[in-house]
Structure 1
């Protein structure tokens, strides 16, 4: 079969789809990846066929545009604690506990109008026509689209292909949409504005289709996180084992030697996406952390770009500075990990059973954290609370608390028990056959 993959236009999202794309190719299927021009090197570097779609701008430029639009609207995306508090003082958006209260109409509308829709439009409108045109020319049987890459769903609808959404984090979008639809049904008939539906309807009708809810969250959803990170299990969810992809990287020789002391990986920057590295913490704060843990009997591996390394005034003897390191190679020998909550670092820590400390302001980190704390496999800290003593205390707990390690190892076993991408390919083949059968029966009924 022919499979079109449409990632959200950010390099880490391409990486997230590579292992499944490999499995599809080695099973004999034709695969093409539709990506913004600045993503094509990442696509072809993974041995996949890429097709350029959308604008010439980079993901960084798009992100800057998103922030500019937020300022112009005078709006900001919801943040932990930034909305009306629910049970336990949590913003309801970030409350992923079973039995939590639904978002109300005003809350749900705020989420979609200020967070989901603006980002969806900016990331999809510029590539929508190109992606649909590609689908009309190539006629894929299956479209895999990354979460929020709605152009993939519209393209699938335009050609009658089966389509599956691929997650990169806790699936908060499905429950937010369900909350919105529940609140919408309780509104007066003349007060049910649904900006996301209106936007998708405009696009799908342009190509002769009609809106349906699976354009929002897929006919099926591939979820790479273990069950504890799926607060609302659904029959349309397809679990898939997280498999690391390190991009174009080299295994350093020092990794061949066993660590002389408990090894700790620490990373605070975004080293994957193009553009200047975004640092969560300034050099002075990182220096304070190094000074606070410099006397510990550990082997600290700190990833920093060369320029940031030069801003440090001293490096303890127990610290190894590197610009980058393949996570799948270093983490199996690590006793703890301190990181910025990125998709790849978080998934690798789960796969290799490493207790982790999350230090991040990323949108999805509160969701990951709640699930992580519920499993007892990690800790978190707000960037504003980070200082040397605080990180030292948390790191000692990660290293010395046997319960944290046991729980992290249990999560590792759960990850490894999930279907591997090769197994998921067989499931996708069955879904496509079932989709064809339904379409054939529908065509027969229409002909009669």
Structure 2
């Protein structure tokens, strides 16, 4: 069969889909990965076939007119009307403030990407479309071309969960004058243009490829196909120094790829972690770039490099310190490594602040639409309107990931906002010295290993796509 993937143009979204795409291709199916044209080279580097959509120089997040996230007042009002408790609000903010914006980016009527995806699907006639959480046009392309379609989520599913909450609270939302389904409202212009009906299936797929290990998933009404998250981190030569056994316990320090492109300074977390590691008898490999280091000199026992695939380094490590990203968490699970997850007690809610003259030079923890370090950097005074988005000092998924790791005895939580350097150091030392954390890592590895692999799921996808085709 022919399988079309609709992918957000970012490595953090591409890499989790690669093992499933390769499993389908290795089973003899034709596979294509469609994404905005500026992302073509990154897809091609995986050995898979890209379908470039739209303008080869346009990137949504660093365009001249990027869409802004939903404001915190509106986000909080929805949460209040829906009666969400504090933990539930975090899942809602993730959907409403963080996922809806990139979804809208690639549905914009002034951009050709969504129409290009649908035109390709009409011509190529896929049997199955697998789409990213932010690529809702994939569902429309499937409906127009007659293909079956599914979402692939990277652990838990805040979109499916939030849509269930919206449906349950519809009457209250209407009474409060709020949009009863903001995602449907975003998709409707594209769907109407192609005569496609908006229904639940269009918004969440005919089924969901769900990579959440048991205990991390969110309850949703969606039809789920369990899928083991097989880490793919790109390809790179094995460094000479990595071929030799470590003389001291090796720790990997990685704080993610996504935020460092948009946030300078890392909220003072990096210098505290480096100071905590400096006095330990360990070898540290830190995948930190100049934006994260922000001029700080690492101690002698820390080797820094811009990037190193986690599948190369983690199997050699006694522990990993990371930012709580789902991809890093899953890679650590697969490598059976105890985890120290950086997390804070604050909400992930995005807050918008107007700048004053005194604030213009303070960029710590500030996100600006239209700016990406190393790609498009603007002086603060050049960008109007002068809106600063204050980011929480943690990855969006950090708290659920930390809760999962800690509850299963596979590691600890590190909070640079409440813990001193000494306390951070002792937490690291404890994970290295206490064998129970290694046993906890082995236990969650066993849970992960018991999930169906991408190869196992290929026959399931073949059957489901065939059933959908027979129903047409």
Specify the TM-score bucket, using the shorter chain as the normaliser: 0.7 to 0.9
1:65 paired to 2:66: yes
Compared CA separation, residues 62 and 345, structure 1 to 2 (3 A)? farther
Question: How far off is 1:419 after superposition?
Answer: 1.2
Question: How far off is 1:200 after superposition?
Answer: 2.1
Matched residues in 2 for 1:387 and 1:54: separation?
Answer: 49
Compared CA separation, residues 371 and 216, structure 1 to 2 (3 A)? farther
Question: How far off is 1:164 after superposition?
Answer: 0.8
Note the residue ranges of structure 2 that are not aligned, 5 or more in a row: 344-393
Question: How far off is 1:14 after superposition?
Answer: 0.9
Question: How far off is 1:19 after superposition?
Answer: 1.0
Question: How far off is 1:291 after superposition?
Answer: 3.2
Matched residues in 1 for 2:46 and 2:217: separation?
Answer: 29
Compared CA separation, residues 236 and 415, structure 1 to 2 (3 A)? same
Matched residues in 1 for 2:176 and 2:37: separation?
Answer: 43
3-state SS in 2 of match to 1:94: helix
Question: How far off is 1:366 after superposition?
Answer: 2.4
Following superposition of structure 1 onto structure 2, how do residues 329-348 of structure 1 map, counting pairs within 5 Å? 329-348=312-331
Matched residues in 1 for 2:170 and 2:294: separation?
Answer: 54
Matched residues in 1 for 2:419 and 2:98: separation?
Answer: 27
> Which deviates more from structure 2 when the two are superposed, residues 192-201 or residues 134-143?
192-201
Match of 1:100 in 2: none
Match of 2:205 among 200, 218, 242: 218
1:32 paired to 2:65: no
The answer to whether the Cα contact below 8 Å between 2:265 and 2:291 also exists between their aligned partners in 1 is no
CA-to-partner distance for each residue in 1:306-341, whole Å, 9 max, x for gaps?
67669334523x332333222112111212111122
Match of 1:320 among 303, 312, 327: 303
Question: How far off is 1:5 after superposition?
Answer: 0.4
1:378 paired to 2:408: no
CA-to-partner distance for each residue in 1:20-68, whole Å, 9 max, x for gaps?
11111111111111111221111101111111114432254169934xx
The answer to whether the Cα contact below 8 Å between 1:154 and 1:215 also exists between their aligned partners in 2 is yes
3-state SS in 1 of match to 2:154: coil
Question: How far off is 1:128 after superposition?
Answer: 1.3
Following superposition of structure 1 onto structure 2, how do residues 236-275 of structure 1 map, counting pairs within 5 Å? 236-270=223-257
Aligned residues: 416
Match of 1:122 among 105, 120, 123: 105
Match of 1:201 among 179, 184, 188: 188
Match of 1:443 in 2: none
Compared CA separation, residues 242 and 378, structure 1 to 2 (3 A)? same
> Which deviates more from structure 2 when the two are superposed, residues 411-420 or residues 305-314?
305-314
3-state SS in 2 of match to 1:227: coil
CA-to-partner distance for each residue in 1:118-154, whole Å, 9 max, x for gaps?
4321233332111111111111110000112101111
Match of 2:130 in 1: 144
CA-to-partner distance for each residue in 1:178-218, whole Å, 9 max, x for gaps?
11101115666896643322332332232122111012211
Match of 1:94 among 82, 85, 90: 90
Question: How far off is 1:223 after superposition?
Answer: 1.7
Match of 1:430 among 463, 468, 472: 463
Match of 1:446 in 2: none
Which has the larger share of helix? 1
Note the residue ranges of structure 1 that are not aligned, 5 or more in a row: 96-107, 440-448
Match of 1:364 among 392, 397, 405: 397
Matched residues in 2 for 1:394 and 1:77: separation?
Answer: 39
Question: How far off is 1:113 after superposition?
Answer: 5.8
Q: TM-score, normalised by structure 2?
A: 0.78
1:291 paired to 2:324: no
The answer to whether the Cα contact below 8 Å between 1:251 and 1:325 also exists between their aligned partners in 2 is no
How big is the alpha-carbon RMSD for the aligned residues of Structure 1 and Structure 2? 3.3
